Structures are given as structure tokens and as C-alpha cells.
Structure 1
Amino acid sequence: MPASITLSRLSWATPDGRVLLSDLDLSFGPERAGLVGRNGVGKTTLLRLIAGEVRPSSGSLTVNGSFGILRQSVQTSPAQTIASLFGATEALSLLRRAESGKATAEQLADADWTLEARMVSALSQVGLDARPDTSLATLSGGQATRAGLAALVFAEPDFLLLDEPTNDLDREGRAAVIDLLGRWRGGAVVVSHDRELLDTMDAIVELTSLGATRYGGNWSRYRERKALELAAARHDLADAEKRVAEIDRKTQAVAERKARKDGAGQRKRAKGDMPRILMNARKDRSEDTGGENARLAERRRVQALDAAASARERIEVLQPFSVVLPPTHLPAGRTVLTVEAASAGYAPERPILRDLSFSIVGPERVAVVGPNGSGKTMLLALVTGGLQPLSGSVRIFTDFALFDQRVSLLDPKTSIRDNFRRINPTADENACRAALARFMFRADAALQLVSTLSGGQVLRAGLACVLGGLQPPALLILDEPTNHLDIDSIEAVEAGLRAFDGALLIVSHDEAFLEAVGITRRLDLASLQG
């Protein structure tokens, strides 16, 4: 039987009863399918359902074939090595005993002499130059992700279940993952917001609050279809609203005609010009006809209102939130930041950043680039005061906001609304709620505790609290801002930052994002340090 994953009327609810997935009918075969949708819609939960880690509330799920799953972060312990990810710790240990002459004849017969070479080959396929006995604790997050993906491919499952496989990867690592999936001939279900990766998919499956929809072709084809669907939904909404207005206008005109006719009848009855029995008969017919017309008009109005509500619901799903930033009026010649001969690190004898010098003047848009481990995030901590320089100086001359990967500017113990009021103390309740609504935290959603949000929702909440105020800071500092945002949110943030008149300092491996926000200069840490 060919390998397949089939979902039939599948639903899943959180322990507190909130329905996250409802009546999903989906199937996956030997194809590369990108799974997309807004943050919190249930993409990771769907992978966990397929993997059998959680059970559906109702419906059925059938997996024919084997699978391997890569989560957003590879969990490690100090004793683990890369071989642990491959499930080959004992087999590698046997090889080491055999090589040192300590294995018995029976053990030698069980030894897999090609194992290590095949593991190294799998690691090289994802661009990782490491030995199987390398400790996982010595790897960066991106390197650990690549090692985990290499272990999956090594096992040759029928399906790869990948949750944000290019998160935390540098440019080289992202290219290696994209190349590997391009050569993969089994099935793959890939949760991702990496548009370059999604453009290599055979199909896109979108999860929304309305269910799941499959689109043939890659990301670009999907976006073309979505643009047409949004245009159609807006046309349907305009048509439904026009019908409601027309029905209301006609109903009002009929009511006015009836009132005039009833008035004329009352005046005739008052004069006594018509027999009473005839007048009463006409009155009854008029009331019957008027009642039927009113009921017909009301049915048509309800139908038009239902059509309008349906169109609005489709637009709500299809249309992302918008980011509109008030002006900062940052002058073109004003110095924003200077770093002079700065060195930084966690051990004075081994600085990671050495003799670094640069400045930002006016509304420049600067990207910090370099491979994993080159000190990009450390530089942002140095600039914002989270880390003191070992030597040299760092000076910042304007107000700023740092969006680190944990969005630590938010208090996780309080609500989104309370965080907004703390960060924007002069904003009243109406301004607070309006700003949060623009970032899709409407009504009770604004009262959610930050600690209960998904990674993408936390970043969106942080953006709402800082960028939704009356006066955004003149310098925005962003550390991998697209790592946890869904693609609609990324594109909305891109649009807002393109129109931003302040300065930007960004660490990101997402080339599409950097190009979209109009980066004017790149700081390559490898070439800048003395």
C-alpha cells in the first residue's frame, strides 16, 4: 500500500474545551506539502496529531508508512551527542571498542562498519561539518536543528514532519535544508513561514478558523489564488451590502406609500363616502398584502445580511492585520548610535566581538549579518545595554525599542492590554483597545495573559504595544523578527516598516524580509572586526 496520511472529520480541542481544529478532511501522499496559517491556528498541533503525540477529540487519522518529526527546537541533555539523534549511540560505541581491539568476536560480527561514514554523509547533506560523537551541548541552535534533520533523513522514513526547519539557521544552513528537501522523494509535511522554502513545495495546505484548504503548486501560486479569493470576497461583500441597502430603501418606500394610502382611507371613512363593509374589506386586503410584503422583504434582508456576514468572515481570514506607524520625524543628519573599538564576550580572554566600530546616522536601515555564532545577538545586547563592553564604547542617542527573540519587553504574568497601558501610560482605554485591535487582539483577546500566547502571538503583542502607541521610538532593534510570525503577519510588518521614517537595526537570515523593508546597509561581523 502506498504511503499516505489521511484525516477524516478530524477535530481537536484544548483541555479547557476550546476547539482548535474542526472537521478536517485532508490527505498527504509522497509529496512536499507546506502547511501554513496564522499563529495559534493549530499547525504544530496537527503535526503532533499525525505523530500520535496527542489524540483527536473526534474523527479519524490513519498513517500508512513510517515518519520522523523535527520540532521547532531540538531538546538536548549534556550527555547527548549527535549520534544520540541518530539512535546510534550503542552502535558507535561498539565501533570504538572494535577499533581499539576491545570487542569480542561476537560483537565484531554485529558491527556496522559503514555506519559512521553514512552518518557523516547525512550531516554533510545539511551543511554540517561535524563528527557523530560531537556533544550536542557544543552546537548552536541552528547546528542542532541541522543535526536533527540529518538524523531524520538518515532513517529514511516515508514522511518527514518538519516544524519550522529553517528557524535559527544562517543563510548557508537555510540553503542546505532547501536543497535537501528539493532532493527528497518521500512525503514531507512542512510547517514554515520561510517563503523561499515554501516556493519549493508541491502543494500548500492552509489552516484557518474555517478549516483546511489545499492549493496545488508552490507558495507563489498559492498567493496568486489567495489574492483572487480576497478580491472575490470583497466583491461579494459589496454586493451583499448593496442588496441590504436596496431592500431597506424599498421597504421604507412601501411603508411610506402604505401610510399615505391608510391616511387617505381613514379620511374617506371619516366622510362616510363608502359603505362600511367595503371599507373594512379593503382594509383587510391591504393589511394582508402589507404583511406578506413585509415578511418577504425581511426574508430577503436576512439572506443578504447572511451573505454579507459570510463575506466578512472570509475577508477576516484572507486579510492580515495592518501596521501603520506614526512618524518619528528623525532628521537625516542626526547620529543615532556609535560603536567605537568595542569588544565583548562572556570571558575577557576570549572576546566574541573584537574592536568593532560603526555608526548609524538618521533613518538608516542596517542589517547585521554573519554565520551562526558570529555574535549578532551579542551585538544587539551590547547596543541596548544588556551587555557591557570589555573595551571601547557604545553610545545611543535616541529612544529605542528592542524586540529580542523572547520579546522580553513584555511582562508574561500580565495581559496584553495591561502591557500596552504600562508601555504607553498616556494612552486611554479607547486608544489602547483600538491599537490592539489593529494587531488582531480584539475584545477578550486583548485580555489574554502573555504567558499563554504562542511565539508568534507574543511578538505580535510586542509590536502592538510598542508600535501601536502615539509615538514610536526613533530606533527599532529587531532580532530575528520573522522566526515566529506567520506569513501574513510578516508581510504586514514589512509594509509597516517600509513606511517607517525612523532607523532600523535588524538581525535576520530572512533575505526576503530584509529586501522588503528596504535595507540600505549591511554590517558583516566577519569583515568589520579588527
Structure 2
Amino acid sequence: MSSTTTHHVVCSALSFSWPDGTEVFDGLDVAIGPGRTGLTGLNGSGKSTLLRLVAGELTPSDGTVRTVGEVGRLPQNVVLDTALRVDEVLGIAAARAALLAIEGGDPSEEHFTAVGDDWDVEERALATLDQLGLGHIGLDRTIGEVSGGEGVLLRLAAQLLARPDVLLLDEPTNNLDLHARRRVHEAVAAWSGVLIVVSHDRELLELVDRIADLHDGEVRLYGGNFSDFERALAVEQEAAGRMVRVAEADVQRQKRELADAQVKLARRKRYGQKMWDSKREPKIVMGARKRAAQESAGKHRIMHTEKLAEARERLDEAVDAVRDDDEIRIDLPHTKVHPGRGVLRLRDLTLRYGVGLHGDFEVRGPERIALVGRNGAGKTTLLRTLAGELAPESGEAVAEVPLRFLPQRLDLLDDSLSVVANVARFAPGATNNRIRAQLARFLFRGAAADQAAGTLSGGERFRAALAALLLAEPSPQLLMLDEPTNNLDMASVRSLTGALAAYEGALIVASHDPAFLASAGITRWLLLDGEGLRDASPEEVFGDGTPAP
């Protein structure tokens, strides 16, 4: 990485629309220089799209994106060929092979060209893997031998090795366990170039130098970390609220003055007519007075009408400054499970891929269970087995109440179908009006409910999937969620937390998000590790230095 003093990203009059005509940006202007920038905004506001535009993966319909320096991007959804070797993912396979050939006595020029000046590439690669907690993997294993979370870290390691001048990270801690998250946090804190990160991970956003808030198609920059941004925004919104109240009072005052002016005009008109009828003055004088009075009254009325229009315009501007960020409103169905009632039984369960749980486990209502463990421990495999999607190797898992499972990948949606059609698949007996009413509570209103699922952002996809499950019959008395806060903006996480607080059924949630688990009312912690499934304490799960929920 070269000097960072001139590296920056500038978007000028940037406009972009999807092929179906959906507008994302219209004349966006923003300039981001060296340092760590957290890009925040509601789901669907265009954060990932903006990163793709900066990376050159999308072409603006108008305006320009100018980047000074080499750009690297870690996408939100990392999909890697399982046959790839680690050194291929890191982008060093060719240089490594050339080094081996040179060390073996082959002096061919192409080998020296492939190596360039990077003679210590293998040592740097191993050091980077070790920095991210992947030292045990080595360079010759394949992606099929590592967990999904380790795959994300490998893609990050590739970016760190490439040392781009501008690094773009899109939800880099999604699907990562607590230990892996901390590795990413350390890498971000140590970055010295231009870094733009999209994340709902609050701990990560506390490490940035500034917040770039994307709202209503515009970006505003705030100095400091996420806590500083929240304080600054609260002050702004308080002032905006005061301005609305002042503007509303001014509109009412202008309405009263206009009404008073109209009453005075009517009185003058009646008086003039009375004088005309009585003919107390010469006709030419009365005509002149009438014309003067009408002209004066007209000017008076126009003046007050213009003042009222100006007052209303100021009110509109004040209202626009107050954020009205829609939040999903989740009403979970009445699913009360009485205390002590059996919900789920596990007996000598051995999962696919050889994960053994050893012994018997019972879940009774209305327990709220956090399923925790390192990446690759088998949490998703266990949940899929409980949901009936995977058959166990041996043993049994018996659900004694209706259950619903929201998978991590949200692959229960058919990308070719609209949001409405997807929900209808889960509730064939529901009317179209009922489905649309439910979707409106999840912010899919009007035409938004008719868009194809394949065009949705990560957060929008979550909302659509959750709406489908909660409208399905029968209502779930056991709800299982796999990393539910991935891709959700802060407002949606708060809404999900509020909904779960009102849920009266049993809950099993796999999550690496300490803040979310702290707010979910967890009553039991189950740790899945090499020893199987066992009860644990929050302190054991989160370790020293992390506040336990």
C-alpha cells in the first residue's frame, strides 16, 4: 500500500437505477478520504449498491465515481468454489508455484516475473492467516475443508494481502463467531488506508473515524464513531422537532391573519355597497373609492395568501428534516406454551457430518435458548435437523409442538416469484388482502410487494422471509432463528427484539451477536463444541472482558 495522503473516493452527481427502473440514487454527491468510514443506513437504502459502484462492478446511469488508488472489496455474500485451495483464494498460488520452481532450480524468466518483488509472499500469507486466527489452516487445504466463517476470513485475508489503497467491506462480521469477529475488529482498527465498511455490528462501528449516513438518497458525514453519530443525530432531530412546532404555529397564525383580512374585506365591501345604494356621494367619487378599496383589499389578500404559502413551505422543510424511518411492526401470533410443557426431545442424536450430541436433551416451554459455538461447530446443521430438513445419522429429534425455522441463508424464498407470491406459498388459505396487509407491516407496501424476491437486499429478504413464516399455519409454538440479525439495520434489530419480547412460545436462536442475545431474554445457553451439546454459562460463552448478557 502506498501513501494514503491522496487516496480517496469521490461520487459526483451519481445516479443509478436497476434495469426494472427502480431508482437507487439521483444526483448523489459524497467524498470520502483516508481513515475508517462506517457507511450506515436503513435496509434497502443502497449501501451495498454504492460499494459496488465504487468498486466498478456497476455502472452509473449518470454522474461519475472517481477513486484514487487501487480498490478491493469484500462482498456481503461470499460464495467460494469448494475445490479452490487456500493459496488460490489468497491470490498467491501463481507466485507460490513460481517460488517453488525457482527453489527447485528452474531459472525460467516467467517464474521471476510471477514472483516480482514479492519474495516473502508465503511468509506474509501465513502471518496474515495467523493474524485472523487461521494459522491452523495452512495454504494447501481446500475451501471444502473449512467452515463458512473461515471462508469469510480467508476472503478478508486475501484483501489484507493485496493491500489495496481503498478497502470496501460489506457486512464483514456476518456469520462469524465471537472470536472471529474480534479478529476482524483488530484488522479494521489497524487499517491505515481508506476503508469504507457497511455493518450492523455496533462494536465494529465504534472503531471508525467517521460515519457516512445514507438517508433518502443522500450521504451526510459525521465525525467520530457510531456513538458520536447517535448523539449528533439526536441533537439534530431535537432541533428539527422544535422547528416543526415553530413552523406549525406560524402556519396557524398566517391562517388567522388571512381569515381576519377576508372578514375586513367583506365588511368594507358591505359598507361600500351601502354607500352606493344610499348615493350619499357623487357617483364618480364612489366609483373611484370602490376601485381603490378593491385594489387595496386585493393586495392585502394576496400578501396574506403569500405569507401563508411561505409558512407552509417552511413547515414542509422542517418536517422533511425530521426522520420518519419506518420500522417493521411484527405481531407474532398467539403462541403461548405453558411452563413445563414438552416442546422438543433429543435422544442420542448424531448429526450429519459426524457431529454427536451424546445423551438426552429436553426443551420445555417457554424456554428461550441461545445456541452458541464456534464457526463450523454444527449449529446450522442441528437447526436444520430439528426442522426436518436433514435426517440425523442416528438417534431422534422429536418436536412436540408446531415449529418454524428461519434459515441463515434465507433460501426459503423463490427468487423468481414476487414477495406476495412467496408469502402465498406458505399461506394458501389466506386472501390476497390479508397477505398484503401483513406485508405492509413489514414495509412492503403497494408495488414493493410485487417486486421479485431476487431483487431484494439482505434486510428486505429477511423481512419477506419472516413475514412468510409468521403468516403460515399453524402458528409456531417453537421458533428457531439462525443468525437473525445478519443484514438487518439497527432499527430492524430493535423491532425484532421487541417482537421476540412479546413472543410466548419457545425460542431457539443461533447468534454470534452479544448485544442481540443480551436483549432477547435468553434463559438457557447451549454450547455446541467438540464435546457435543451441553449447558453453559454466559461467562463461559463470551469469555473474559466481554459483558455477559
Q: TM-score normalized by structure 2?
A: 0.84
Match of 2:67 among 63, 67, 70: 63
Answering whether residue 358 of structure 2 is matched by residue 358 of structure 1, we say: no
Identity %: 35
- C-alpha displacement of 1:332: 4.2
Match of 1:93 among 76, 93, 97: 97
CA shift digits 1:111-170 (9 cap, x unpaired): 776432321111011111211122123222211111121122122332322122112211
Match of 2:30 in 1: 26
- C-alpha displacement of 1:371: 0.9
The answer on whether the counterparts of 1:479 and 1:507 sit within 8 Å (CA) in structure 2 is yes
CA distance in 2, matches of 1:324, 1:147: 36
Change in CA separation of 1:79 and 1:432 when aligned onto 2, cut-off 3 Å: closer
Answering whether residue 334 of structure 2 is matched by residue 328 of structure 1, we say: yes
Q: Which amino acid aligns with 2:299?
A: E
Answering whether residue 85 of structure 2 is matched by residue 81 of structure 1, we say: yes
Match of 2:463 in 1: 460
CA distance in 2, matches of 1:469, 1:245: 49
CA distance in 1, matches of 2:280, 2:433: 63
The answer on whether the counterparts of 1:344 and 1:382 sit within 8 Å (CA) in structure 2 is no
CA distance in 2, matches of 1:333, 1:432: 32
CA distance in 1, matches of 2:199, 2:482: 18
CA shift digits 1:454-509 (9 cap, x unpaired): 22111122334555899964433211112122233223322333343443221111
Match of 1:491 in 2: 494
Match of 1:207 among 214, 226, 230: 214
Match of 1:115 in 2: 121
Q: CA-atom RMSD, angstroms?
A: 3.3
Change in CA separation of 1:132 and 1:409 when aligned onto 2, cut-off 3 Å: closer
The answer on whether the counterparts of 2:11 and 2:30 sit within 8 Å (CA) in structure 1 is yes
Q: Which moved further from structure 2: 139-148 or 391-400?
A: 391-400
Within-5 A mapping of 1:496-515: 496-515=499-518
* Number of equivalenced pairs: 524
CA distance in 2, matches of 1:435, 1:419: 13
Answering whether residue 227 of structure 2 is matched by residue 225 of structure 1, we say: no
SS, match of residue 355 in structure 1:
coil
Match of 1:340 in 2: 346
Within-5 A mapping of 1:418-429: 418-420=421-423, 423=426
- C-alpha displacement of 1:87: 2.4
CA distance in 2, matches of 1:64, 1:413: 39
CA distance in 1, matches of 2:314, 2:360: 60
SS, match of residue 357 in structure 2:
strand
Answering whether residue 198 of structure 2 is matched by residue 191 of structure 1, we say: yes
CA distance in 2, matches of 1:278, 1:470: 85
Within-5 A mapping of 1:292-441: 292-316=299-323, 319-325=325-331, 328=334, 330-333=336-339, 335=341, 337-346=343-352, 350-355=353-358, 357-420=360-423, 423=426, 432-441=435-444
CA distance in 2, matches of 1:261, 1:504: 75
The answer on whether the counterparts of 1:73 and 1:141 sit within 8 Å (CA) in structure 2 is no
The answer on whether the counterparts of 2:101 and 2:111 sit within 8 Å (CA) in structure 1 is no
- C-alpha displacement of 1:64: 2.6
CA shift digits 1:16-62 (9 cap, x unpaired): 35442333333333311111122232222322232233333333333
CA distance in 2, matches of 1:438, 1:352: 40
Within-5 A mapping of 1:460-479: 460-466=463-469, 473-479=476-482
Match of 1:177 in 2: 184
Q: Which amino acid aligns with 1:207?
A: L
CA distance in 1, matches of 2:242, 2:438: 27
Change in CA separation of 1:443 and 1:228 when aligned onto 2, cut-off 3 Å: farther
- C-alpha displacement of 1:259: 4.2
Change in CA separation of 1:227 and 1:503 when aligned onto 2, cut-off 3 Å: farther
Match of 1:149 in 2: 156
Match of 2:105 in 1: 103
SS, match of residue 529 in structure 1:
strand
Q: TM-score normalized by structure 1?
A: 0.87
CA distance in 1, matches of 2:426, 2:305: 48
Match of 2:130 in 1: 124
Change in CA separation of 1:320 and 1:15 when aligned onto 2, cut-off 3 Å: closer
CA distance in 2, matches of 1:307, 1:461: 38
- C-alpha displacement of 1:98: 6.1
Answering whether residue 450 of structure 2 is matched by residue 447 of structure 1, we say: yes
Q: Which moved further from structure 2: 504-513 or 254-263?
A: 254-263
